Amino acid sequence: MSVRARVLTALVAAASLALTACGGDSGDDNGGGGGGKTELKLYNDKGAWSPFFEELGKLSKQQIGIGMTPVGYTDEPTYSAFIKASFRTNEKPDLFTWSTGGRLQEIVEAGQVAETTDLWKDAIAAGDLSKELEETYTYDGKQYCVPLNISYWVMFYNKKVYDEAGLEPPTTWAELMSNADKLKAKGVTPFYQTSVLFSFVWFQQLLIGTDPDLYDKLATGEAKYTDPGVVAVMERWKQMVDGGYFSDAGSKEDPAVQLKSGKTAMGIFGTWFNTSMTQQGLEPGTDYGMFAIPNVDPAQSKVTMAFESGPLCSLAKAPDTKASTDYMKWWVGQPAQEKWANSRGDVSANPKVAIPDPGLSAIAKSAGGGEYTLANRYFEAAPAPVLTAALDAFGAFMVKPDSYMKQLENIQKAADEYWKGR
């Protein structure tokens, strides 16, 4: 045989050996569906959190004898399709993350999700979960899933820039705008905005600060995007864009970088953004801080704060329902939550958890203690086709603020399509 052929044959032989040697163990640890599973797979679309999940997996193995391995996805739409398809196969997830709002409702209505009503009752009684949060996880009077994480949407700001301008975190909207004006005068862009993924943020903030009920009604289809209250919000937003209060929406520059450099002074993000700031080498309290965003309408009694909470779910027909439920019980408890929140540098759904970062801790205490009205983030509140239309519309609005009426009509069209017959 020629040398080439020999090499080829050797390669093929080696490859076949490698292939048969280890094909991944999707079949082990099944425990026969009735019980006995000691390793659970947690499917999630937060691939970036894999190291944190793994730490929790080690901790749970120590504390309750059940280990957990994350299977991370990074593209949410692909993840969704995959999970839904998995319900029909033998590859059902033991645990999986999802989104609250319409998407959770969808799979609950399809009878796929395991009920957790008792779990919630016990957890609220033990002070591990707040009653305020329960509503987001309730359908038809019953609870499903438990909170995987919770983040509050607050205003991050560059403290050094603030100090230089002689500013303090505002307690009213008027103060916030006056801060913004002073910053503008100094050549600093007051607010960050983006037309990609988080293009809804300012719409959400302005609306919940004006009329939180209208915001909720939009999510259920009871109100229209063309209603005067919504139009007024868009007009205010347009005023701000025209007034030069925002950074370039099309910039792909990392928002943390923008804030760090001081070119932009403030930005609305979920408290998970804290990690991005610390990764840049910024110190909380010295270099940057965060504050709850005051209501636009001062007549509202409580500040309305947007929050995002992702559920951790198990299937009604999970491979081992007891193990999955036990895991979720452990997840909401203090030891798990403490490790989870602090390793990621975010707040926890469990009010008992002590958070080292003073800024985060203050927000968590106020929000968890009922000081604010909580509004579900737009991303979860809006049904998928409406959300898609809205994200496009807001992005287009940022490029052409004059088109706001047209954009609202576009969103409403999608909403009409979705809600007809429901």
Partner 1 sequence: MSVATATPINSPAAPAAGGRAKRGDRGARWGALGFVSPAVILVAVLLYAPFLYTVALSFTEYDGLNSPQWIGVENFTRFFDDPALTTSLRNTLMWVVGTTVVPVALGLLVAVLSFGIKGGTWLRLPFMLPYALSGAGLAVIWGFILQSGGAANDVLGFLHLPGADTSFLQEEPWNTLGMIVAWTWQQTGVNALLFLVGLQSIPKEPLEAARIDGASGWSLFRHVTWPLLAPLTTVVVGLALVASLKTFDIVWVTTQGGPGRNSETLAVTMYRDAFVSGEYGYGSAVALVLTLTTGAVTLAYLRRQVKSREALG
Partner 2 sequence: MKHPKKTLRFAPRFPGGPATRRLVLGAMGLLWLIPVYLLLVNAFRPSTEYDADRIWVPDGDFGFFDNVKLAWDAAGLGPSILSTLLYSAVSPLAAVVLGAMAGFAIVVLRLRAGFWWFMLLFGGTIFPIQMLVIPLFISYSSADLYDRRLGLVLVYTAVCVPLAALVMRSFFTGVAYSIYEAARVDGASVWRIFWRVYLPLAVPALSAVAILEFAFVWNDLLFGLTLSQNENVRPVMTALSSLSSAYSGSTVPVVLAAGLVMSLPTVLVFLGAQRIFARGLTLGQY
Closest CA to 152 of 311, 272, 28, 317: 272
Q: Which does 49 bind (CB under 5 to 8 A by kind): partner 2, partner 1, none?
A: partner 2
Give the H/E segment covering residue 389: helix 384-399
Distance separating alpha carbons of residues 210 and 205, to the nearest angstrom:
9
**Is-contact 93 327, C-beta < 8 A?**
no
| Residues in region 352-381 near partner 1 by CB under 8 A | none
Is there a contact between 52 and 343 (Cβ–Cβ < 8 Å)? yes
Whole-angstrom CA distances from 246 to 269, 295, 391 are: 15, 19, 18
Residue 112 binding target from partner 2, partner 1, none, CB below 5 to 8 Å by type: partner 1
CB 72, CB 46: distance < 8 Å = yes
CB 104 within 8 A of CB 136: no
256 binds, among partner 2, partner 1, none (CB under 5 to 8 A by kind): partner 2
Tell whether residue 187 is a contact of partner 2 (CB under 8 A): no
Burial class (CB in 10 A: 0-12, 13-18, 19+), 192: buried
Judged by beta carbon, residue 55 or residue 115, the one nearer partner 2 is: 55
Q: Which is nearer to partner 2, 68 or 233 (CB)?
A: 68
A 10 A CB-CB count for 80 gives 18
Q: Annotate each residue in 250-289 with x if it binds partner 2 (CB under 8 A) or - if it does not, as one string.
A: ---xx-xxx--x----------xx-xx-xxxx--------
Q: Contacting partner 1 (CB under 8 A), which of 112, 189, 264, 276?
A: 112
From the CB of 273, what's the least distance to partner 2, in Å? 8
Query: Closest approach of Cβ 223 to partner 2, in Å?
Result: 29
54, 94, 56, 141: which is closest to 333 by C-alpha? 56
Stretch in the footprint of partner 1 (CB under 8 A) among 48-56, 93-101, 242-250, 296-304: 242-250
Chain residues binding partner 1 by CB under 8 A are 77-78, 80-81, 84-85, 87, 106-107, 110, 112, 195-197, 199, 248-253, 384-385, 388, 391-393, 395-399, 407
Chain residues binding partner 2 by CB under 8 A are 2, 4-5, 8, 11-12, 15, 18-20, 22-26, 41, 43, 46-51, 54, 71-75, 78, 81-82, 85-86, 88-91, 197-198, 253-254, 256-258, 261, 272-273, 275-276, 278-281
